[in-house]
Amino acid sequence: MKGTLMQSVVRPVLLAALLAAGASVFARGVLYVARPAIALSVSERTAARQQRVEFTVTLPDGKTTTATAEPQAGGERAGTVHYPSDFGNAGTRIGNYTWSARIAGKEVQAGRFAFRAAPDGQLLFVPN
């Protein structure tokens, strides 16, 4: 019983890790490629309307790239941007990244993430 429970937990986690690492998977004759990505969203809990949020990501080489999250549902919900797809000159290189969120020019949140090489050569997303 213990081995069965462990297998049922490990297999989905392993599959999710492989997909997140950019592994290619064949399913019913279709090639599916998953790439590492991060969704960024900031909301003001007490605000009647959510505001536009500008996100800046600093790449490992020190260059920066920006994207703007527009409020959704008439301002009722915060917008979301995805790194790297919503950032024009972005990439997924191995290294450490930082991000900051600004509303009306004022920094309201910041964070970090990284991309690391896996032993099998795939790229892993590592939240910090």
Q: Which amino acid is at 33?
A: V
- Rounded CA-CA distance 89/4 in Å is 46
Encoded tokens for 66: 């920006």
Task: Please say if the pLDDT value at position 19 is more than 60.
Answer: no
- The per-residue pLDDT for 105 is 92
| Global pTM value | 0.69
Task: Please say if the pLDDT value at position 10 is more than 60.
Answer: no
Domains of the chain in start order, with CATH, are: 1-34 (no CATH), 37-127 (2.60.40.10)
Out of 24-33, 35-44, 104-113, give the one with best mean pLDDT: 104-113
* Burial class of residue 96 (count of CB atoms within 10 Å of its CB; 0-12, 13-18, 19+): middle
pLDDT tens digits for 72-92?
888 788 899 999 999 987 888
Give the residue with greater pLDDT, 124 vs 1.
Answer: 124
